[in-house]
């Protein structure tokens, strides 16, 4: 049991006792305060529900047979908004205790018969307080780990963003491209009804999908004339380079499939791994459509942005060859019926 300073019981855990017999309340008040706990006594079970809703308590001692509602109904209401409160049920007789399945369903941690002596009850309370103490410690550790993880993630994100901005400084086309690809991919993902976690991965994966261009020579990256076969081979290395950059951080492992495989083709003729069909990671297939769309609708040194009807025809033509046909169909529906959302993204960058 946690040692409490009896001279300062506010250092103790907070216990609420709910019993419609004022004598029980008074007896437990003396007993629990002497043991160093902060005590609240309530005779009305409906009031007890409101007290728990608006105040913090560590443990509840709850009579089973009460009016206007029994203890199991009190717990049922409390569990709708508080899953953590440790609850011990008090019964006048063991035959009056609720069924075991009810105790389990409502997550009641234990029950005890009422008695003039409180020894058994004290043991149950001590056991409960130890459990509560451990749960609080675990929550504290988890919060600290989460804080540390978030700081580490922020540090890595800043480092990768620096690399990304370096690429954008080298290549004017890349500036804004990754942001748009990120948002287009998320838009497609939403219409595919993918999970919030996958949408987050699409968002960050889109931002970093071209990070590997940091390893492509400027002479190739900035060339306005047609690339030679050797130069094109160098460009095709950027997904592998990007995946290697991200592989040094465990927290970015879920981004690697997007970065490495967004240039794969559904027919198996893409790069770097020549993956085919559903062997290509799903989020990479989504990003591939978003990436190609932005490339077609962006002004380049050697051509203007392609008109929308040409873009639609190209997406339709490449269904099943370059693009996953189901993803392509969803994107064509966006272009035909929700194009204002596309324009909104384009106007941001």
Interatomic CA distance for residues 113 and 128, integer angstroms:
16
Sign of CA dihedral 67, 71, 72, 74: positive
Could you say which DSSP state residue 303 is in? B
User: CA nearest 114: which of 94, 141, 140?
Assistant: 94
Question: Residue holding tokens 């020894």?
Answer: 119
Residue 63's contacts (CB-CB under 8 Å, 6 or more residues apart) are 18, 19, 20, 21, 24, 71, 89, 90, 91
Interatomic CA distance for residues 181 and 334, integer angstroms:
15
Beta-carbon count within 10 A of 56 CB = 9
How big is the chain, counted in residues? 349
Hey, which residues are catalytic here? 213
Question: Residue holding tokens 């160098």?
Answer: 234
- Looking only at the bridges linking them, the beta strands covering 14-18 and 38-42 are parallel
- 3-class SS at 9? helix
Sign of CA dihedral 283, 289, 295, 297: negative
C-alpha dihedral (158, 163, 166, 168), degrees to nearest 10: -90
Interatomic CA distance for residues 274 and 269, integer angstroms:
6
Kindly report the CA angle at 285 between 281 and 289, in degrees rounded to 5? 165
Residue 27's contacts (CB-CB under 8 Å, 6 or more residues apart) are 118
End-to-end CA gap in the chain = 61
């Amino acid at each position: 049991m946690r040692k409490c300073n009896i001279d300062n019981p506010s250092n103790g855990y907070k216990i609420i006792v709910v019993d419609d017999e004022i004598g029980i309340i008074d007896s437990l008040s003396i007993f629990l305060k002497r043991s160093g706990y902060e005590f609240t006594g309530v005779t009305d079970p409906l009031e007890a529900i409101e007290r728990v809703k608006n105040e913090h308590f560590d443990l509840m001692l709850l009579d089973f047979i009460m009016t206007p509602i029994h203890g199991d109904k009190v717990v049922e209401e409390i569990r709708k908004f508080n899953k953590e409160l440790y609850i011990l049920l008090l019964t006048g007789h063991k035959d009056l205790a609720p069924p075991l399945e009810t105790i389990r369903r409502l997550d009641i941690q234990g029950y005890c018969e009422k008695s003039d002596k409180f020894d058994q009850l004290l043991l149950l309370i001590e056991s409960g307080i130890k459990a509560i103490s451990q749960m609080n410690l675990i929550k504290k550790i988890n919060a600290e780990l989460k804080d540390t993880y978030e700081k580490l993630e922020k540090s890595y994100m800043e480092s990768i963003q620096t690399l990304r901005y370096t690429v954008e400084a080298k290549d004017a086309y890349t500036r804004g491209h990754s942001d748009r690809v990120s948002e287009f991919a998320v838009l497609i993902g939403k219409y595919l009804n993918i999970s919030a976690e996958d949408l987050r991965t699409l968002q960050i994966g889109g931002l970093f999908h071209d990070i590997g261009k940091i390893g492509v020579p400027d002479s190739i990256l900035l060339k306005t004339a047609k690339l030679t076969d050797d130069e094109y081979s160098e460009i095709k290395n950027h997904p592998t380079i990007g995946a290697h950059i991200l592989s040094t951080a465990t927290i970015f492992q879920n981004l690697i499939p997007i970065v490495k495989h967004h240039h794969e083709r559904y027919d198996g003729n893409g790069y770097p791994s020549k993956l085919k069909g559903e062997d290509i990671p799903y989020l990479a297939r989504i990003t591939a459509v978003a990436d190609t769309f932005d490339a077609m609708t962006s002004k380049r040194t050697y051509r203007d942005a392609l008109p929308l009807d040409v873009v639609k025809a190209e997406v339709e033509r490449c269904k099943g060859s370059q693009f996953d046909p189901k993803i392509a169909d969803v994107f064509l529906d966006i272009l035909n019926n929700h194009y204002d959302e596309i324009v909104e993204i384009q106007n941001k960058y």
